[in-house]
Structure 1
Amino acid sequence: MRTTASLRLVTGTRRDDLAESVAHASSQQVRTSLRVGLPEISDDWVNCGRLLSDTAGFATWRAALAEWLYEQYGDAPERTTAGYVMTWYLGVPGYLAALLFHHERRVPSLRPEHLAFHTARPRPHPDSIAALDDRFVCLPDDPAARSREATVVPDEQALAAVLRGRFTAHAARFIEAFAPTVRFGRHTLWAAATDALDDSMLLAGRYGGDEGAGVLDAELLLPARLGPLTSGSTIRPSGTGWTRRRESCCFHYLLAQGKGACSTCPRLLPK
């Protein structure tokens, strides 16, 4: 496992505030743009807290997704639009937190009110994520450990516990808001939350050029089943790299012209 000291040697740059950390983490991947604060023109950004308070936004999001899926595959069942949106939304706090933990050993605020996202067009997935609070949790040797914005914890296990707790709190609020709008049980919703954390950490390592390091961080974050999350990390070797078994289903296989179940689907891979 990487130590904090070795992390500093890898990154090689002193970062004194969260904006610098987010910029560096964003530069280590190509999947989603990350930033601190909203751009000057932000009318098309969605604040997570507001979305969870007014769940009509989920219906609008799913309708836009249904239009795109119809153009690609034909009619999209309700479970498929719900599964996509569930996965995409939980990836907002999960991916931001995983990237900052993996590259910077920092955990930002994951309160819904402190996160926002922008959706792409025509495929309405989150293509940008914004952290709206400057505070973060870090380790004792972090260069900004004595700053006003920092809260220090003693070691990596404690930092992983903070990340897991903050993400779980956000996921609980999402599930409370989203569950009445879909026909999913609580297990399915918490399985999707588990996937968001585990998959995001694997991607952080993969995009950053050290997939194995992402695997180690996923094991640190999800060493075992820690309720309400549904499992420990399910990452496993695959050929010369790594894959994982999803805990939840995105219901892509229900599309009439789709390609069937995903390779990581729990319908295909044994536990």
Structure 2
Amino acid sequence: MPDTRSIRPGAVDLLGGTYRRLAARCPSLRAELTTAQGPGDTPGRDWAAMAGLEHHRDRLIAGEAARILAGHDRAPREHVAASRLLHHYLWTVCLLVSGPWYLERRVPRIRPEDLWIDPADGGLALRPGAFACLPDDPAAGLPGARVLAGEDELRAELRAAVADHVTPVLAAFQGPLKRGPRALWGMVTDDLVSGIWYLGRMLGEEEAAVAAATALLPGDTPPFPGAAAFRTLPGTEGRQHLTRTRLGCCLYYAVRPAESCLTCPRTGDAERVRRLELPVP
């Protein structure tokens, strides 16, 4: 038997550990690691490979429509189900890219052939791959790690990793959603910012996460059509609340008409403050 103490782990192994730490901090992240080997191998019996999205899209949208009907007693129109599914997918994938960057300054490249989706519940399964990192990262010399010069280059790599992954996904969903490219890329921008913001809140460092998202998306970074654009809302008794307004609508209001998202363009500042200051149950 070989002496495993002399075998150095590859970048892929380290990224798996990063994802486990990310999942432990983010209870809303519905993703798991898998050792599935390719499109012919799946994490579960009915899982759909993202590499074959064009063959699975309609089945995935139908699965989302069934979940909305079961959970909200409301049968959604196709474009609503497609929007809700895409929003969930984008938020998850963006966090799977931005989470390792925020936690450990590592930016993974997620290939379609390394990702699967469960039509039954919309959960994702990921096979970790290689990533980019900074010169002082302990993983910099390992196989599968690509070293970049500095923080600006790492942020550019993060934007590129997200854009390259979601471009074919947006093309596949554009028809059912009935939205143009700018609106779809606005969804990507919103979900990329939202994931970083959420992770910061889970870590108890919201302001640091907002600063990181602002540096990542300052504006004028195509194909992302807008900036993180956080602002501060004055609350009651001297309180201050961080907020932003989404570039587009994820159509949650079409599922729960009385409960638009807190950052929805439809939600005014007074309502935001009221909801932000409600007692925590």
Kindly indicate whether residue 24 of structure 2 is the aligned counterpart of residue 27 of structure 1: yes
Match of 2:62 in 1: 60
What is the SS of the residue equivalent to 1:25? helix
Task: Give, in whole Å, the separation in 2 of the partners of 1:252 and 1:214.
Answer: 25
Kindly indicate whether residue 216 of structure 2 is the aligned counterpart of residue 214 of structure 1: no
AA aligned opposite 1:58: L
CA shift, 1:109, in A, is 1.4
Do the aligned partners of residues 34 and 125 (structure 1) sit closer, same or farther apart at CA in structure 2, a change above 3 Å counting?
closer
CA shift, 1:38, in A, is 4.1
AA aligned opposite 2:162: F
Normalised TM-score (structure 1):
0.81
Q: More displaced, 44-53 or 216-225?
A: 44-53
Match of 1:199 in 2: 194
Task: Give, in whole Å, the separation in 2 of the partners of 1:53 and 1:241.
Answer: 44
Checking the alignment, whether the CA contact within 8 Å between 2:116 and 2:125 is kept in structure 1 is: yes
Q: 1:139 aligns with which of 134, 137, 141?
A: 134
Normalised TM-score (structure 2):
0.78
Q: Give runs of aligned pairs for residues 39-78 of structure 1, distance below 5 A.
A: 42-52=44-54, 54-69=56-71, 72-78=72-78
Q: Give runs of aligned pairs for residues 249-268 of structure 1, distance below 5 A.
A: 249-255=249-255, 258-268=257-267
What is the SS of the residue equivalent to 1:145? coil
Kindly indicate whether residue 221 of structure 2 is the aligned counterpart of residue 226 of structure 1: yes
AA aligned opposite 2:217: L
Task: Give, in whole Å, the separation in 2 of the partners of 1:24 and 1:215.
Answer: 20
Do the aligned partners of residues 219 and 51 (structure 1) sit closer, same or farther apart at CA in structure 2, a change above 3 Å counting?
same
Do the aligned partners of residues 41 and 252 (structure 1) sit closer, same or farther apart at CA in structure 2, a change above 3 Å counting?
closer
AA aligned opposite 2:264: C
CA shift, 1:198, in A, is 0.8
Gaps of 5+ in 2: 1-11, 37-41, 234-238, 270-281
Do the aligned partners of residues 213 and 259 (structure 1) sit closer, same or farther apart at CA in structure 2, a change above 3 Å counting?
same
Q: More displaced, 139-148 or 26-35?
A: 26-35
Indicate the percent of aligned positions where both proteins have the same amino acid. 28
Q: More displaced, 72-81 or 176-185?
A: 72-81
CA shift, 1:264, in A, is 1.1
Task: Give, in whole Å, the separation in 2 of the partners of 1:19 and 1:241.
Answer: 35
CA shift, 1:54, in A, is 3.9
Task: Give, in whole Å, the separation in 1 of the partners of 2:117 and 2:54.
Answer: 13
Do the aligned partners of residues 53 and 225 (structure 1) sit closer, same or farther apart at CA in structure 2, a change above 3 Å counting?
farther
Q: For each residue in 1:140-198, what CA deviation from the matched residue of structure 2 results, as whole angstroms up to 9, or x when unmatched?
A: 11111100010010111111111101101122111111112332222221111111111
Match of 1:3 in 2: none
For the aligned residues, what is the CA RMSD? 2.5
Do the aligned partners of residues 111 and 53 (structure 1) sit closer, same or farther apart at CA in structure 2, a change above 3 Å counting?
farther
**Higher Cα radius of gyration:** 2
What is the SS of the residue equivalent to 2:257? coil
CA shift, 1:132, in A, is 1.6
Match of 1:174 in 2: 169
Do the aligned partners of residues 187 and 114 (structure 1) sit closer, same or farther apart at CA in structure 2, a change above 3 Å counting?
same
Kindly indicate whether residue 113 of structure 2 is the aligned counterpart of residue 83 of structure 1: no
